[in-house]
Amino acid sequence: MLWGKTWWIGSFSASIWNLASALRSLWYIHVNKEILWVKWIHGNYLKYRDIWHVMAKKGDSWMWRQLIKCRDKPLNVTGGIDNLKQILSTCYKNSKMQLSAVYTVFSPVSHIVPWYNTVWGKLNFPKHLFVLWLAMQNRLFTQDILLRRGAINTNACLLCAGAASESRNHLFFDCSYSRDVWLTIMDWLKMN
């Protein structure tokens, strides 16, 4: 279903991407990677404790508390520390964590999120959310709408070199250029 998939990629995936990014930070702390901020965390927060067990305290920085929060959800989903470590270790190549691989592990590809979850989910970027909301109501200022309002007097899609007129449906579904962009992004995220 094109709608479901498109919006799902457009916004919901941002939360999984954020999760993957947090897991990468946790993994770097776990392997004590030779990076300044990792050393700093070991010296200031961990003090020889384990990143998978440490609890955030009152007075700890917001970033640190968020990181610990991001740790607990995938721990539950994967069924524990050993499982999560094993999964993450498969995403770690040449001393680098492959974000797209972590993303793939935690993205329920077959799961189509209902629209209201997609739009009003807590971890979306406000700007994406707003554009999505406008697009759903066909209130984006695309050229067909501007033409109807008399604001412009031509209507040609600039992305696919003026071969078609620009409307919401054209931009999101029919335009050959945006289609190529979507396919590239899906390929990058290893999605079918």
Binding site for Zn ion (CB under 5 A): 157, 159-160, 175
* Shortest separation between residue 181's beta carbon and Zn ion, angstroms: 11
Nearer to Zn ion, 41 or 157 (CB): 157
**Residue 136 CB partners (closer than 8 Å, separation 6+):** 115, 119
* Shortest separation between residue 136's beta carbon and Zn ion, angstroms: 20
Six-digit token pair at 27? 């993994």
Nearer to Zn ion, 46 or 159 (CB): 159
Q: How many CA atoms lie within 13 A of 119 on its CB side?
A: 12
- In angstroms, the CA 191 to CA 183 distance is 9
Nearer to Zn ion, 38 or 175 (CB): 175
Six-digit token pair at 156? 């040609």
* Shortest separation between residue 179's beta carbon and Zn ion, angstroms: 9
- In angstroms, the CA 91 to CA 78 distance is 15
Nearer to Zn ion, 128 or 168 (CB): 168
* Other beta carbons within 10 Å of 48: 5
Do 118 and 12 meet the contact criterion of CB atoms below 8 Å apart? yes
* Shortest separation between residue 184's beta carbon and Zn ion, angstroms: 16
Classified as helix, coil or strand, 164 is coil
**Amino acid (one-letter) located at 119:** V
Classified as helix, coil or strand, 124 is coil
* Shortest separation between residue 109's beta carbon and Zn ion, angstroms: 27
Nearer to Zn ion, 56 or 159 (CB): 159
Classified as helix, coil or strand, 90 is coil
Nearer to Zn ion, 136 or 159 (CB): 159
* Shortest separation between residue 29's beta carbon and Zn ion, angstroms: 45
